[in-house]
Amino acid sequence: MKILVTGGCGFIGSNFIRYLLKSNPNDSVINVDKLTYAGNLENLSDLSHSPHYHFIRADITEASQMEEWIGKGVDAIVNFAAESHVDRSIEDPSAFMKTNVFGTFVLLEAVRKVLPRQRVRFIHISTDEVYGSLGETGAFTEETPLAPNSPYSASKTAADLLVRAYHRTYGLPALITRCSNNFGPFQFPEKLIPLMISNAIEGKELPIYGDGMHVRDWIYVEDHCRALDIVLHHGKEGEVYNIGGRSEKPNLIVAQTILDRLEKPHSLLRFVSDRPGHDRRYAIDFSKIEKELGWSPSVSFEEGISRTVEWYQTHQGWWRKIKTGEYLDYYNRLYKNR
């Protein structure tokens, strides 16, 4: 297969490209990425000389560029390209609407224009945040009503509905995946786990929103990539597949676990004011993909955290360059006076 991956220099996208080419050595990948703050060419530097990998710096909102590359004969598109940090969406929602909503529209239009001459399978990578917040029990299924609570999750919801509409209206061979919180190598250090790890290594305080009891279902990124590979090759068009890690953890427990792995004191924890619209709990029911496609997570939270902590310890040059650049200014602005 010839696969166009959008946002492939980001955290999940870069891990997916590496996993895909390792698992399917006859496939080829075109990676389209705008290289915004979270897109990093270093994430895939080991593939720079591979004949099966080609990088293009481009913006998915530029219709002419997307139509050109899609029209050249790709078999599938895996759309990771998105602005993804909730705090950033609260500060400035405009970029989220442009990339997440309009960018998805541009890609869908480009695929529609090559139909029926060229059949392009479209895999849209979404998030469990489109479902909103859960109480103390229950889990999101693919039938749970969409109820986003932040500008980020609202933009992803809008994109999901566009994908659904293009499948129903134009017959686009499209699928949607909604995954729980990922963690692992190459995750940008504004996200919870890499922020906690890098701060702990540096002996800095670990900021915890509210009471720290906001619960997330965590999945190691390699498990997510394996699920996406299966959906890409075997998923049923028009369907939504939830992907989860079966590892519900409050944020406070996650931070404490990281401190324990690094043998750092819990006194580094610092509770800060909660953010607006902070969903209390997410949990994913992934029984559909488990039953229909035979996927289930294989890496436990504890094993995944050990691997992730080790990676950030041995790749300090990667994240230190990020934290001393644009991210540092953002970090200071975000947490000052809290």
Catalytic annotation, residues? 128-129, 152
203 C-beta neighbours (distance < 10 Å), count: 9
Residues 6+ apart with CB under 8 A from 233: none
> Whole-angstrom Cα distance, residue 226 to residue 286?
14
> Whole-angstrom Cα distance, residue 79 to residue 5?
6
Specify whether the backbone of 319 is left (phi greater than 0), alpha (psi in -120 to 50) or beta: alpha
- Sheet with 248-250, strands from edge to edge, namely 181-183, 215-220, 248-250
Residue among 147, 139, 154, 51 at smallest CA distance from 94 = 154
Alpha carbon distances (Å) from 93 to 63, 88, 153: 22, 7, 11
Q: What is the DSSP string of 137-155?
A: S--B-TTSPP---SHHHHH
Alpha carbon distances (Å) from 24 to 28, 50, 175, 337: 9, 14, 20, 49
Residues 6+ apart with CB under 8 A from 273: 209, 210, 338
6 C-beta neighbours (distance < 10 Å), count: 26
